A and B are shown apart, each in its own frame.
Chain A
Amino acid sequence: MIDETTYAELREIAARYPQARSGLLPMLHLVQSAEGRVTPEGIQACAEVLGLTEAEVSGVATFYTMYKRRPVGDYLVGVCTNTLCAVMGGDAIFERLKDHLEVGNDETTADGRITLEHIECNAACDYAPVMMINWEFVDNQTPQSAVELVDDLRSGVERHSTRGPRLCTWRQAERVLAGFNDGLADEGPSAGAASLAGLSIAQENDWRAPSAGRGASAGERIETEEGQ
């Protein structure tokens, strides 16, 4: 059921754009947050708000892999099996998790806690092998660490992303993707170690871009200019 609050939020999303239809992708994220998947009711609501047919909305929803027709567990566990992660161990992690959770690709455990899927490159190859839990980074995994993680999540033990906050549920995550910030932006570090690999070496050696660039304090530079 799409309630009045959700309807109002769907309209709010559409109003962010010069043309309302641009809101459709975030609106479908909101539907998933409210309904746990893309439901016929959710499609109908989007169609109604945007003045589209249900077939038009449905045609969009089926195009994108993040939209799910079947109920998703509290934690959507994605294992990157694109070439680089696969080779570094992603294939082994995915096999182990299938065995351990007794589910296949795109299936949910009987307790409704975990949905497992293999995913494509998630722009974290320098942290391979990579897993995503509800689209949060879980870097540098092994079959062992992956099993411990899903076991903890199933039994309600609090776990964090390696570069972000405590893992929330998939439905909470989908709400952020719809554009409703949850106030957790300040959690986690600026960057993981791999992101800083080059910067650390440059700092150790005091290497900079010519004439400082933005590496040194621009404020200091401005003063120098004015003092000339």
Chain B
Amino acid sequence: MTVVSTSSTNEGPLTPVLTANWADDRSWTLASYAAQGGYQALDKALGMSPDEVITAVKDSGLRGRGGAGFPTGMKWSFIPQDNPNPKYLVVNADESEPGTCKDIPLMMASPHTLVEGVIISSYAIRANRAFIYVRGEVLHVIRRLQAAVAEAYAAGHLGTNIHGSGYDLDLVVHAGAGAYICGEETALLDSLEGRRGQPRLRPPFPAVAGLYASPTVINNAESIASVPSIIENGADWFAGMGTEKSNGFGIFSLSGHVTRPGQYEAPLGITLRQLLDLAGGVREGHELKFWTPGGSSTPLFTAEHLDVPLDFESVGAAGSMLGTRALQIFDETVCVVRAVLRWTEFYKHESCGKCTPCREGTWWLVQVLGRLEKGQGSAEDLDLLLDQCDNILGRAFCALGDGATSPITSSIKYFRDEYLAHLEQGGCPFDPAKSSLFEEVLA
């Protein structure tokens, strides 16, 4: 496909594609989306064979945007087409990993991007039923998704004989009910079947026995929303952005002590230094202390990692994970022990209780960390913490348990002295009012 731009291409560090229409008037409506060429990619896809669509997504190099980075086209090709059961597409829009805040604004501003992606992706894997599992705690986003699906039905983009192609698809927007673990794909499937959301043993993998024990593809909302642009502009266009093994663009979410927090869509491989430059730097008068590259389950980074390219390989090589590109920025006023304790309390609260290392382990981690934060306990407690993490990592039934250890082990690695300072002072040496945005109100 030769896509010719009507205006000269102006390449900068930011590449709005998914975010490009977010400032448009009534961007969430079908009229606005269609005026920007929306649903033309669907026509194009329906003119291809399902396998050609899968090949295009494979060739684009798109890797899952939900955290693990599994190649999306490859995942689709695992669906056994000789299996007599119906096939399903399930969109993971549970977005609950602390720091992660990209799928929610996407679905609020442009739900049709996701809906069009769902239709093309379902067509590719030969599914006639699809679900968007969205966390329940985002009322207005759910309204917009429901309205977009209704509009898409009315316009003939969903339902029977879509665009006269003979292809049928039904799409249900399904609201969750508050449980971080339901973002884990097999727990999500149990939840979508009306059960407690607890992870399943694998194998069998969802591609073989997923929803209702039938072949199922589960993809993150941003992954699926990227599909229409790939079909429209071609695999090479997408693969031409990003780095060698981390192709394309992604939404980077900056939050915390940064001058202009928000969503920045850029090719994979951009660095935090570049992003901070765009975002006006760390909050005025302060400096970077630690940050998460991909949510609270990814090991912390410090100022020494400002130039690590934010792609899957480079972040991994530097000892963390790209995760969901949730860049939570903390300046020097923040106590790392307080931060880590709070995340650990989160994991304890959200542990589904299925396996002992995580259920018991996260409880113990909170006990020991809580003691340290109060300046009680002893230096040996740090080794105890590392030992406990060792007993969870790799032994937990799912990645929630592993993730719970990330903030602890990485913070002890970079900030051991700060833990010890709590013991020396008999309490936290930091003033929490200094890190809040409204010091004057507290004074």
Chain A residues with CB under 8 Å of B176's CB are 25, 64, 66
User: Most B CB atoms within 10 A — which of A83, A213, A218?
Assistant: A83
In the complex, whether B346 has a CB less than 8 A from a CB of chain A is: yes
> Is the CB–CB distance between A199 and B16 below 8 Å?
yes
Q: Judge if A65 is at the interface, Cβ distance under 8 Å.
A: yes
Using Cβ atoms and an 8 Å threshold, which residues of chain B touch A135? 136-139
Q: Which residues of B contact A136 (CB under 8 A)?
A: 139-140
The smallest beta-carbon distance between B164 and chain A, in angstroms, is: 19
Bound complex: CA A199 to CA B146 (Å): 26
Q: CB-CB contacts of B350-368 with A at 8 A, as 1s and 0s?
A: 1000000000000000000
How many residues on the B side are at the interface (Cβ–Cβ under 8 A)? Answer: 119
In the complex, whether B179 has a CB less than 8 A from a CB of chain A is yes
Q: How many A-B residue pairs have CB under 8 A?
A: 362
Whether a CB of chain B sits under 8 angstroms from the CB of A211 is yes
User: Which B178-212 residues have a C-beta within 8 angstroms of A?
Assistant: 178-180, 191-197, 212
Q: Are A63 and B196 in contact (CB under 8 A)?
A: yes
Q: Judge whether A222 and B339 touch: CB under 8 Å.
A: no
Question: Given the complex, which residues of A lie within 8 Å of B247, measured CB to CB?
Answer: none
| A66:B177 contact, CB within 8 angstroms | yes
Binds B, one of A4-12, A104-112, A176-184: A176-184
Q: Are B263 and A198 in contact (CB under 8 A)?
A: yes
Q: By the criterion CB–CB under 8 Å, are A209 and B37 in contact?
A: no
Which of B53-61, B326-334, B421-429 touches A? B326-334
Most buried by B among A18, A25, A66, A135: A25
Q: How far is the CA of A193 from the CA of B279 in the complex (A)?
A: 13
Residues A195 and B137 in contact, CB atoms below 8 Å apart = no
Are A84 and B9 in touch, CB under 8 angstroms?
no
A19 within 8 A of B: yes
Residue B14 is within 8 A (CB to CB) of chain A in the complex: yes
CB pair B256 A125 closer than 8 Å? yes
Q: Which of B95-103, B313-321, B378-386 contacts A (4 or more CB under 8 A)?
A: B95-103
In the bound complex, residues from chain A placing their C-beta under 8 Å from that of B350 are 120
Q: Is the CB of B143 within 8 A of A197?
A: no
Q: Which of B247-284 contact A (CB under 8 A)?
A: 249, 252-257, 260-266, 278-279
Chain A interface size range: 35 or more
- Whether, in the assembled complex, A2 has its beta carbon less than 8 Å from a beta carbon of chain B, the answer is no
**Contact partner, B37, options A192, A200, A218, Cβ 8 Å:** A218
Q: How far is the CB of A206 from chain B (nearest CB, A)?
A: 5
Decide if A21 is an interface residue (CB 8 Å cutoff). Answer: yes
Would you mind naming 27 contact pairs between A and B with Cβ atoms under 8 Å apart? A17-B172, A87-B435, A88-B435, A88-B436, A120-B350, A143-B442, A144-B441, A176-B146, A182-B143, A184-B140, A185-B140, A186-B28, A190-B27, A190-B110, A198-B252, A202-B15, A202-B16, A207-B14, A208-B12, A211-B5, A213-B229, A213-B237, A214-B18, A214-B232, A214-B233, A221-B4, A224-B4
* B residues with CB within 8 A of A: 2-7, 9-29, 35-38, 40, 86, 95-101, 103-105, 108-110, 129, 135-140, 142-144, 146-147, 150, 172-180, 191-197, 212, 228-229, 232-233, 237, 240-241, 249, 252-257, 260-266, 278-279, 296, 326, 328, 330, 334, 338-339, 342-343, 346, 349-350, 432-433, 435-438, 441-442
Known A202-B265, A213-B15; further 5 A-B contacts with Cβ < 8 A: A23-B194, A60-B196, A208-B10, A212-B3, A228-B2
